[in-house]
Each structure stands twice: as C-alpha cells, then as structure tokens.
Amino acid sequence: MDPQKIYDLLYARYGDLNWWPASSPYEVMVGAVLTQNTAWSNVEKAIANFSERLSPEFIMDISDAKLADIIRPSGFFNQKAVYLKELTRWYAHYSFSVENVRLHTMEHIRKELLSLKGIGKETADAILLYAFGYPSFVVDAYTKWLFERLPIDIPLNYDSIKAYFELKLPPSTYLYNNYHAMIVINAKAHCSKNPKCENCPLAGICRRGNCERGNAPFHATTK
C-alpha cells in the first residue's frame, strides 16, 4: 500500500497538527525522554514542575536527586534523571545550539544519540525530527498497532516500519512530523489496542474490516 494514500486519508480528517507541543527544541528533547513508558499527561505535569527553569544549563547544574524529584510525575524518575543528564552533557558539546547540531549529518547525530544511555531508536528519532528538524520518521506503539491492521505485509519491527515510510516518501521534515502526529491522534481516537472502527478515516482500507461486528483481527509477522 502507498503510504501517501494513508496520509491523504488521515489529512482529510485531521489537517495540519503542528506537533510537537513544546516551547523550545530543548523542551522537545526533555519530553522525548520523559514520555518513555508513560502517558503524555504525566510528562506535562513533570515539565510544569520546572516552572520557568527548564533549560540545559539548569539541568546540568541541578543534582540528580533534585532533578528526579522534579520529574517524578513521569515515572521511572531516577533513571530518567540520569538519562536527561547524559543527553544534556551531549548537547553541551554543541554549545546547546540546534544550528551547531545541524552542521552534521542526520546519520552522524543519530549514531551519537543512540550511544547515550536511555536513548533508544524511538527517542532518538523523535529528537532528530522534532527538536532538530531532520527528516527521520518516528515509529511508536501507535504506528505498530496501525500496521497490524492495514494491508501492509512487512515485518512489524522498528527498522522495517521506519524504512517503509522513508523509502516510499520524500525526506520531508514537515511530512514526517504531521504523519506521525496524525497516526498518534487517530490511534487515540480509533486504532488503539481495543480499536473503535466506527467513523475511522482508515476504515475503508483496514484489514480488520468492520471489527465491531466480530471479524477476526489480522496478525502480521513480528520478525
């Protein structure tokens, strides 16, 4: 299936979503770490705890214990405090400058991010796309749920799904940004673990068909 067709169906419903919800690229980086294994509402509470203090300099200077207390609402706060410290130290090598980061190729920056403790593929790609403006497609649980139900016969692993988008679509930061945002919004409304297919913009191409009438779900390969 052409990923542009999926995009067009989603776009007709949701339009431009202007993601990621953050006031600065560094806040995006922090949010990308804090959202691991938790709901976004908890991330918002953690970020609100910073008040006006959220900056790389503040996180560099504060103790791990105090940082963990600030981000407590996000869960796994002791681990995430360590992750944020390491990510911020990495960013310091670029003088906390998006422009300095972008002097390097996306592949170079992605490799560096993946070498940091607590930064996996999804977090790295979210930082690349939303903080630094690189065309790197983000694959999350919502994307995988979508792929389980659409007629797209590829392995359901991170690299295969990412390649599906990046090989078939132009390398566009705007396109990847809005595409991922629409997948998330649609998944929350319709394509969750327990899908609600009525009025879903993708119902006409979904492999589950009219799942509310009891059709058996489609199970794709996971290797």
pLDDT digits (tens, 9 = 90+) for 156-175: 899 999 999 999 999 999 99
Provide the pLDDT for residue 220: 37
- In this predicted model, what pLDDT tens digit does every residue of 139-158 receive, in sequence order? 998 998 888 888 888 888 99
- Report the predicted TM-score, pTM, of the whole model to 2 decimal places: 0.90
Provide the pLDDT for residue 211: 46
Residue 60 has pLDDT above 50, yes or no: yes
Q: How many CA atoms lie within 13 A of 141 on its CB side?
A: 8
- Per-residue pLDDT band for 196 (boundaries 50, 70, 90) equals confident
Mean predicted lDDT score pLDDT of the chain:
91
- Per-residue pLDDT band for 209 (boundaries 50, 70, 90) equals low
Provide the pLDDT for residue 195: 85
The sign of the dihedral angle between the CA atoms of 112, 117, 120, 122 is negative
Is the backbone of residue 200 left (phi > 0), alpha (psi -120 to 50) or beta?
Answer: beta
Return the CATH class of domain 25-131: mainly alpha
- In this predicted model, what pLDDT tens digit does every residue of 169-193 receive, in sequence order? 999 999 999 999 999 999 999 988 7
Compute CA 130 distance to the chain's CA centroid, rounded to the nearest angstrom. Answer: 9
Is the backbone of residue 171 left (phi > 0), alpha (psi -120 to 50) or beta?
Answer: beta
Domain with CATH 1.10.340.30 in the chain: 25-131
**Range of weakest confidence among 18-27, 43-52, 63-72, 82-91:** 18-27
Residues contacting 161, CB < 8 A, separation 6+: 139, 143, 144, 147, 154
205-212: average pLDDT: 65
Q: Alpha-carbon distance 164 to 167, whole Å?
A: 6
Q: Alpha-carbon distance 79 to 75, whole Å?
A: 9
